[in-house]
Amino acid sequence: MPSDHVSFEQIGPFRYRIRRSGRSDMRTDGIMFLNEALAKKLEVDESPKQVANVATLPGIVGNSLAMPDMHWGYGFPIGGVAAFDVNEGVISPGGVGYDINCGVSLTRTAFHLNEVKPKLAQLVNRFFERIPTGVGSHGALKVSKSDFEQVIVNGANWAVKQGLIPEADRLHMEDEGCLDGADPDAVSDRARERGFDQIGTLGAGNHFVELQVVEQIFDEKTAAAFGLFLGQICIMVHSGSRGFGYQVCTEYLPVMDKAANKYGISLPDRQLACAPVGSNEGKRYFAAMKCAANYAWVNRLVMKHHAAKVMVEVMQASEERCGIRLVYDVCHNIAKIEEHLVDGKLRRVCVHRKGATRSLPADHPLVPEAYRHVGQPVLIPGDMGRASYVLVGAETALAESFGSAPHGAGRLMSRHQGLKLMRGDDVRAKLAEQGIIVQARSKATLAEEQPDVYKDVEEVVKVAAGAGLAKPVARLKPLGAIKG
C-alpha cells in the first residue's frame, strides 16, 4: 500500500508536480495548479495522495490533474481531472462523484441594484417559499412517470417542450443540457423513487440559490457578449441530481469494484473502483450517469424558472421588462467522451471532471454560437459571504488541463469543524452585518457552510487566471441566498 505522504515540488508559476518516479505504480505525473498560499493548505489534506492514486489507473493519458480548489474526496480528489483512452482506459464513479452533474447556472436580469435593493428581503423570502430546500426536499414540480423518463433521456429538451424555458436558454447550456446515450434501463427503480418528486429542489449542503450584483468587470468585450453590466442583478443556482444521482453512484460502485477484479485492474484505493470504458459494466454506468446528468440540468432549470417567476411577481414587472435570460449552465461532476490533442496526436478520451468545470476558448465548436467569438463562460461560485466569478475559457486549458478550470472556492474545513467554529445564528448575523440576507432550512447548514470553512475564492481565481486555465470577466457580490 502506498505511503500516505506524497511529496510535490514547484515546477513553474502556479504549477506543482508529483513525480511518477516517486511511486512504482504511477503511470504518469500528477500536476496541481496552485500558488504558495493554497499549496500550504495541503499540508493537512491528503488530496495530493489521491492525485497520485489516480495516476495509477490503466489507460490514463496526459497527467493526473488537480485544480486550485482541490481537497479530499471519494477516490478522486475534489478538483480532480483525468482523461483515459477510450480503448485502453477506464471509467470510474469516483471520478464523477455521488452528486452527478452537480453544477451551476447563472441567470441575468435587466434590473439594476438600485431597483432591487428595497425589495431584497422580499425576494429572498419568496425564493425560500417557492423553492424546496433541505435534505429530502420534494414537491417543486409534479411529473408523470412517463414524463420522468423523458426528463432523464432528453434533459433540457423536455424543459423546452414543457414551456419551462425558452429555446435560447437551452442553447446557452453545456452540451445544450442533454447527454445523448442516456439509457433508463441502466437505472434502478430505487433511483427513480428517490428522484421522482425531487425535480426543482435545492437539497442541502453547499447548494444554494443566490441573488448577486455585478460589482466589477475585467473584460468589457466578453462581459457584453455574456449580457453583463455593472450594477446588474443576477441569479446563481448551485445544485445537482439530488437523491437520483446519489443512488445511481451508490449502486454502481460495487458493480465497478467487481469489474476491477474481473478485468485484473490493481487499485491503490478501492474507492477508485472502475471498469474499462468499452466494457459492459463501463457502458452501463456511463448510460446511467447520463440519465442523472440530464436530470440535474432539468432540476436547475426548474429552480431558475421559479426564481424568474418570483422576480416577475415581486418586482411587479412583465417578463420582458425583467429581461431574465440564462447566461450559462456548467457541469462540475461528470465524465465525457471528448477529443483532445495529446502528445501531438488527436485522441478520443473519457475526461473525468470531479469538482472541475469545462473551459473552452474562442472558436471551439462546443462553445455556444452566441459566445463562440469570445469563448465559453466559466462560472466559479464563492461562499455565502464572498464573491463569485464569471470567467471565460482559455487556450492554455485545452493544452494543459483537457479544457478544465476550477469549480468553486473549495472546502478548507469539514462540516463537523464548521459546527464547532460558529453557531448558525451567529453566521446569519455576521452575514447580515455585511448586508447579505440568508434563509436556511437548518441552522446547522449555516454553520457547516459558513464562509470560513472555504478557501478564499480570490486565491482560486488568481491561480486559474495565472495558470491560463480561464480569464476573469466579472466579479459578482452576494446580496442574498437560500440554503438547505
DSSP for 117-163, written as a single string: GGGHHHHHHHHHHHS--STT---S----HHHHHHHHHHTHHHHHHTT
Which of 158, 178, 177, 180 is CA-nearest to residue 169? 177
Report the Cα 271 to chain-centroid distance in Å.
20
CB neighbours of residue 13 within 10 Å: 10
Helix axes 280-315, 242-262, angle to 10 degrees: 170
Task: Report d(CA 274, CA 336) in Å as an integer.
Answer: 15
79 close to 310: Cβ distance less than 8 angstroms: no
Q: What is the end-to-end Cα distance of the chain in Å, rounded? A: 39
C-alpha cell at 253: 460502485
Using an 8 Å Cβ cutoff, are 304 and 237 in contact? yes
Beta-bridged to residue 354, according to DSSP, are 80, 333
Catalytically annotated residue among 332, 340, 407, 416: 407
Tell me which residue of 26, 153, 76 sits closest to 353, measured CA to CA: 76
d(CA 219, CA 201): 34
| 439 strand-pairing partners | 482
Q: Which of 224, 233, 227, 242 is nearest to 310 (CA)?
A: 233
- State the number of CA atoms in the 13 A half-sphere of 209 facing the CB: 33
**Is 407 an annotated catalytic residue?**
yes
Angle subtended at Cα 205 by Cα 204 and Cα 209, rounded to the nearest 5 degrees: 65
Q: Up-side HSE of residue 266: CA atoms within 13 Å toward CB?
A: 8
Query: In the structure, how many helices (H) and strands (E) does the chain have?
Result: 17, 19
Q: Return the SS3 of 31.
A: strand
Integer Cα distance of 79 and 63 in angstroms: 14
Cα distances (Å, whole numbers) of residue 5 to 77, 135, 271, 345, 409: 15, 36, 18, 34, 25
How many Å apart are CA 16 and CA 10, to the nearest integer? 4
Q: At 425, which helix (H) or strand (E)?
A: helix 424-433
Catalytic residue ranges: 407
